[in-house]
Structure formats: C-alpha cells, structure tokens
Amino acid sequence: MQFSVFARRKALSIAAALVATAFGASVALPALAATQLTGAGSSFDYPLFSKAFYEYGQHHNDVTVNYQSIGSGGGIQQFTAKTVDFGASDVPLNTEEYKRAEAAGGKVLQIPIALGGVAVVYNLPGVTQGLRLSGPVIADIYLGKIAKWDDAAIAKLNPKVKLPSEPIVVVHRSDGSGTSYIFTDYLSSVSPEWKSKVGVGKSVQWPAQNSVGGKGNEGIAGQVRETAGAIGYVELAYALQNSMTYAQLENSARAFVSPTVNSVRAAAASKPNVSPADFSIVNRPGAASYPIAGYSWVMVFAKPSDAARGKQIKEVLEWTVTAGQSIAASLDYVPLPANVQQEAKRVLGQMQL
C-alpha cells in the first residue's frame, strides 16, 4: 500500500504526540501542510514552476502549490471558472477574456512571472545542430509553401549542409497555447502573407497540409523527437534539457543567433518596460537578440473571496518573481530583469486582503 507524504507526516505527528504524553514532555511538532494552492495554464512555465514551487515548499511547510500544465488557453478558462487560485499564460488576457474573468471574480491583476525563448527544433537525420533559418522561410514552411528540406530557400541559407530530399512534417500545438501566440506573433512580424492569411493567436488554423498537432510543449517535443523530417517550436528549456536539435534564426540585424539565455536576455533588454497592454518582444533590434522571446504572465483576482488564501497566493508569487528567479538560469530561463521584478511586486501590492 502506498502512503502519501501527508499521511506519513500525520502518522509521525500522532506518534510523537503519544510519546510526549507518555513522558510528560512538551514536543514542538512540525507544522503540516495546511493549504494546497492550485494553478493551471502555460506549459512554457512548467519546468520553472515545478522547481520553484518545490523550493518554496521546502521553506514554507504550511503551503504547497499544485500546478497543472494544460496550456495557456486552458489556464485562462480554469481561472475564469474560479476552479484554480491563479492562471498562467504566455500572453496577457485579451479584452474579451478580461471581461469574462472580471465578471466572474472582479478586477484581475496580471503579473510577469517568467522570461524565455521559443526554439525552432527539428529532426533531420544527418543534419546536426546549427541549421540556419530565416523568419520568411519558417513562415513559408508553416504556410505549406516549402514542403521539402532541400528546398532552394533552405539550401541558400545553408550552402555547406547536405540537405536530404525529405518531406517536412510541420508540428504545431493542438491546444490553446501562449507559446503559439509568441510564435505566430513572430511569424506575423516577418511575413506579411502569414499576417494576412493566418495572423496571431493562441489557436490558429494551421495551413500546411503535412502537419500534426501536439498538446503542450511536451507534446510538440515528443512529436518532433519521434518523427523524422519534423519541425516544431518549443520553449527553450524543453529544447535544451531534452538535448533537441534547434535552428539558428536570422534576427532583425541579419545575424544568425542561437536560442540561449543570453540571446533572450538581449531581446528583453531592448524593451525594458512591458505591461499587459504592451508586451511583445519578438523580432527585437540588436545583433545579439534572439527573435522569438516572450514573457509569461500570472493572473490573480485583486480581491480573492478567501482573504487568508489570497495572502498565501500573494506571498508565493512575490517570492517567485524575486528570490525564486535565482532558479531560472539553472533551467534555461532568463531571470526577470530587476525593473520587471519591481513592477510585478507593485502589481501584487494591489491585492486587497
């Protein structure tokens, strides 16, 4: 029979209390985890949240955080339905989403929580790390206009690479995804045809015929790794931690840049002030800037129905956007810039508890 952590703690506490009673002694017992906070949404955030919330729990044994990696769209839905304490999305709420959430629970606060990049990953036998791709070429692949790996447009960018005449399998998100929003925001910034035919969104109509969907960053990573000839897009941490093959992308300065913590940091530095109304950092200027980068956001109600629970949510999130950012670099995220950390704290300070 399996015993949960909480059951074991309770059993040990009861045993300790009995021993203390028998010997007439007073024993200070460890506090049990009295509150489990819940969050759901962005798979982009999941590697960071997993470690950060675990670390927080090591020093605050009165609270645990259960986070479900279900995609930004699902997180927004669960937050609006008030089935979780907070939602997470790689794109802030749009006007209609905000109105629905506000109707459900009052004023919504949106806090920048993580900063990362989106890597373009591929599975091309015989072609190792470093394939070069430009924004227009990636857009044409996802439009279905470039269908084979030895297409002249790809070959022109990679004159020293022997490209196989293999069909390209386009992998995209099948769920409502903030990572897809960042990716399609980038494609719209580099391809007028993509912007007019497909546009920007968490869910779009993917036009390439030879395509397949995957749920979450995990799903895309799995599809690309298992499918020869596949190309996809995943949060940088998934690419690096799973040793995936990723492309160097041409940025707005016409330099080819790999997705790294430093290149994402350079992109963010070119736009120091972000807000829920002005948040895009794709295709930013600078020779060192990686072109597909973005912030992720957490949503909470300004006046939670349970003030005591709201206080714990605020404390967890304040720690995550400040001290918890020390974990980010070890997981291939970029720690939030100091001014963004302060802005996040300022917004959290608006919670009415």
Q: Which numeric CATH code is attached to 5-114+301-348?
A: 3.40.190.10
Domain range list for the chain: 5-114+301-348, 117-293
For the chain of 353 residues, list the mean pLDDT of each consecutive stretch of 10.
35 35 36 79 92 94 93 95 97 96 98 96 89 98 98 97 96 93 97 98 95 92 95 92 93 97 96 95 97 97 95 97 93 94 97 95
Give pTM, 2 decimals: 0.86
Strand partners, 235: 118
Strand partners, 155: none
Please name the residue that has the structure tokens 């009995």. Answer: 18
DSSP 149: T
Same fold, 5-114+301-348 and 117-293: yes
Return all residues near 42 (Cβ < 8 A) that are at least 6 apart: 69, 71, 72, 75, 88, 89, 90, 178, 179, 296
**Burial state string for 189-215 with b = 16 or more CB within 10 A and e = fewer than 16:** bbbeebbeebebbbbbebebeebbebb
Q: Which numeric CATH code is attached to 117-293?
A: 3.40.190.10
Predicted local distance difference test score (pLDDT) of residue 126: 87
